[in-house]
Amino acid sequence: MATNRPIEILAAALLSYILFASFSIVPVVGVLLAVLAPIPLIISYNKAGKVPCLLAFILAAVILLLTTDIQTVVFFAVIVGLMAAIIGEGLHREISMAGVVVWSTLAVLVLLAAVAGGAAMTQGINPMAFLHQYVTANLEETVKVYRELKMNADDIDMLAANIPMIAETFVRLFPSFAMVSIGGAAFISYVIAAMVLSRIGVIHRPTKPFPLWIVPDHIIWGVIGGGGLLLIPLAAAKSIGGNILIPLLSIYLVQGISVVAFFFAKWQFHPLLRALGYFLITTQVFFLFPVLSLGVFDTWADFRKLRKPAVPKNDDELT
């Protein structure tokens, strides 16, 4: 096994590098691939050990530095490196999925805020003003591209007229968007890495399979409170309400997906149909909102009957 260690380190480094670098090469799909960048390092952390994982991370960072710039390497270190270390250790210690995802999300967000804030202070830039300018510039570029593609003129004019409002809304809700983005990446990395490591026998199967995962009932009060703040005719209240609602509704979306996974397993759907279903849920708004509603109303409807004493007898059928 030791003779294969250099190959494993190289493979983890190259795969993590390719996935992370793809966001700047392949539009849209590249962003989705970049989310998977921590997974090779997480697997290496648990399969090969901490030192080989660290070596793989350093090698990937060096390749990034040679092919991109220092800013990209910093983002790679903060997001991919830190997330891989926390999730890898969480899986090794068999910490709950919720705990691992929450801690990795908070750690990455705090470090990102520190790095961005430090850079902004050094250059004498207001971070929020910079973000507003960045979003505005990207929206204006989008309008320009749409005009070149000769898309519907009325839709383009409407987008152009609302650029200031869109940019302002994005900046006000940026904390929640950042939290959901990092948390989503951590969740996906945890689930896929845990599945792979479980299949190859490195870790034990999680004590509670994902189809049986539920959100604590008291979290629904946060959704109700956030929704209530949106009804107050004050900009500050609406900002706070939106930043509360977006992360919490994302959690209930995950619960909705777990409900779907429960019935996929119960009705023995073919793996390809399951994969298609998950793809549609995560990429099509037509499916996204019904699944989100399913997750929210599961708090009261208890579609899987998990909040009652009678729990499914055989958990193995749900994996």
- Checking if the pLDDT of 151 tops 50, the result is yes
Could you report the per-residue pLDDT of 279-297, keeping only the tens digit for each? 888 888 889 999 999 999 9
What confidence category does residue 261 fall into, taking pLDDT thresholds of 50, 70 and 90? very high
Compute how many other C-beta atoms are within 10 angstroms of the C-beta atom of residue 307. Answer: 13
Cα 277 from Cα 157, distance rounded (Å): 35
pTM: 0.81
What confidence category does residue 1 fall into, taking pLDDT thresholds of 50, 70 and 90? very low
Q: Is residue 316 part of a domain?
A: yes
Q: Provide the domain limits for residue 262.
A: 210-304+312-319
Q: Is residue 119 part of a domain?
A: no
Average pLDDT, the chain: 88
Q: Total domain count for the chain?
A: 1
Q: Is residue 89 part of a domain?
A: no
Q: Is residue 184 part of a domain?
A: no
Q: Is residue 230 part of a domain?
A: yes
Q: Is residue 42 part of a domain?
A: no
Q: Is residue 219 part of a domain?
A: yes
Q: Is residue 296 part of a domain?
A: yes
Torsion angle (degrees, nearest 10) of CA 73, 79, 84, 90: 150
